[in-house]
Amino acid sequence: MEERLEFHKPSNQSLDQPLIVLITNEIWAADALRMALTNNQAQLEIIPRNAESLERAIRLVPTVVAVEISGLGTEGFELLGAFARDETTKEIPCVAMLPLPDPLKRAAAFACNVEDCLSRLNDSDEIRTRILTLAKLGISKMRECVLDKEIVELQTRLKDRSHLQTERERLNAGLIQLGANDKDFLQIRLDGLVRIGLELNKVQDIHLLMDRILSEARKLIGADAGTLYKRENASLRFAYTQNDTLARRGGLGEPPRFSSHMLPVSENSIAGWVSISGEGVNIANAYTIEPSSPFQFDQSFDRSTGYKTQSVLALPLRTSLGRTVGVLQLINAINSDGRSRPRFSETDQALLSHFASMATAAIERNQLHESVIKRMLHMAESHDPIETAQHVERVAGIAGVLFEEWGHRRGLGGVLFERQRDLLRYAARMHDVGKVGVTDSILKKPAKLTAAEFKIAQRHVLIGASYFQDEPTEFDESSLEVLLNHHEKWNGTGYPGYVHCDGSSILDPVTNQPKLGGKRGDEIPVFARIVSVADVFDALSHKRCYKEAWPEQRVLDTMRVESGNHFDPELISIFFEKLPLIRQICDLNKEV
CA separation for the pair 393, 429 (Å, rounded): 6
Pairing of strands 312-318, 281-283: antiparallel
Per domain, the residue ranges of the chain are 1-199, 219-362, 384-588
Distance of CA 74 to the CA centre of its chain: 20
Q: What share of the chain is helix, strand, coil (3-state, %, to 5)?
A: 50, 15, 35
- The pairs formed by 283-289 with CB atoms below 8 angstroms and a separation of 24 or more are 283/311, 283/312, 283/343, 284/310, 284/311, 284/342, 284/343, 285/310, 285/311, 286/310, 286/311, 286/312
Q: Domain spanning 384-588 has what CATH number?
A: 1.10.3210.10
Amino acid (1-letter code) at residue 422? D
The pLDDT value recorded for residue 343 is 93
Q: For 42-66, how does the pLDDT look when each residue is reduced to its tens digit (9 = 90+)? A: 888 899 988 888 888 888 888 899 9
User: Alpha helix (H) ranges present in 51-205?
Assistant: 53-60, 75-85, 103-111, 124-157, 164-199
Question: Mean pLDDT over residues 345-355, rounded?
Answer: 81
Which residue did the predictor score with more confidence, 457 or 556? 556
Our separate counts of H helices and E strands in the chain read 21, 11
* pLDDT tier, 163 (very low <50, low <70, confident <90, very high otherwise): very low
The CB-side HSE value for 236 (13 A sphere, CA atoms) comes to 28
Question: Mean pLDDT over residues 288-300, rounded?
Answer: 87
Question: Mean pLDDT over residues 101-107, rounded?
Answer: 81
- In the predicted structure, residue 159 carries a pLDDT above the cut 80: no
CA separation for the pair 428, 120 (Å, rounded): 27
Angle value at C-alpha 461, between 457 and 467, nearest 5 degrees: 125
CA separation for the pair 559, 537 (Å, rounded): 7
Residue 547 has what DSSP assignment? B
The pLDDT value recorded for residue 442 is 81
CA separation for the pair 58, 61 (Å, rounded): 5
Stated as kind and residue range, the H or E segment containing 231 is strand 223-232
10 Å Cβ neighbour count for 573?
13
Handedness of CA 301, 307, 309, 314 (dihedral sign): negative
CA separation for the pair 317, 315 (Å, rounded): 7
The pLDDT value recorded for residue 262 is 52
Q: For 403-459, how does the pLDDT look when each residue is reduced to its tens digit (9 = 90+)? A: 999 999 998 877 678 778 888 988 898 888 888 788 878 877 778 888 898 888 888
Q: Please say whether the beta carbons of 328 and 355 come within 8 A.
A: yes
Q: Which of 96, 122, 129, 10 is nearest to 59 (CA)?
A: 10
CA separation for the pair 129, 444 (Å, rounded): 52
Paired residues of 229 in beta bridges? 238, 327
Q: Reduce the DSSP state of residue 262 to 3 states and report it.
A: strand
The pLDDT value recorded for residue 415 is 63
User: Alpha helix (H) ranges present in 490-568?
Assistant: 526-541, 552-561
The pLDDT value recorded for residue 234 is 72
Distance of CA 366 to the CA centre of its chain: 15
Residue 507 has what DSSP assignment? B
Q: Of 31-40, 169-178, 281-290, which range is least confident?
A: 169-178
Q: For 321-333, how does the pLDDT look when each residue is reduced to its tens digit (9 = 90+)? A: 778 888 899 999 9
Q: Reduce the DSSP state of residue 203 to 3 states and report it.
A: coil
Q: For 217-265, how does the pLDDT look when each residue is reduced to its tens digit (9 = 90+)? A: 888 889 999 988 888 777 777 677 888 888 887 643 444 443 444 555 5
Amino acid (1-letter code) at residue 579? L
10 Å Cβ neighbour count for 568?
24
Amino acid (1-letter code) at residue 413? G
Paired residues of 97 in beta bridges? 68, 118
Q: Domain spanning 1-199 has what CATH number?
A: 3.40.50.2300
* pLDDT tier, 395 (very low <50, low <70, confident <90, very high otherwise): very high
Which residue did the predictor score with more confidence, 497 or 51? 497
Q: Domain spanning 219-362 has what CATH number?
A: 3.30.450.40
Angle value at C-alpha 477, between 476 and 480, nearest 5 degrees: 80
Alpha carbon separation from 386 to 8, 80, 432, 444 (Å, rounded): 61, 46, 10, 9
CA separation for the pair 367, 68 (Å, rounded): 36
CA separation for the pair 546, 579 (Å, rounded): 26
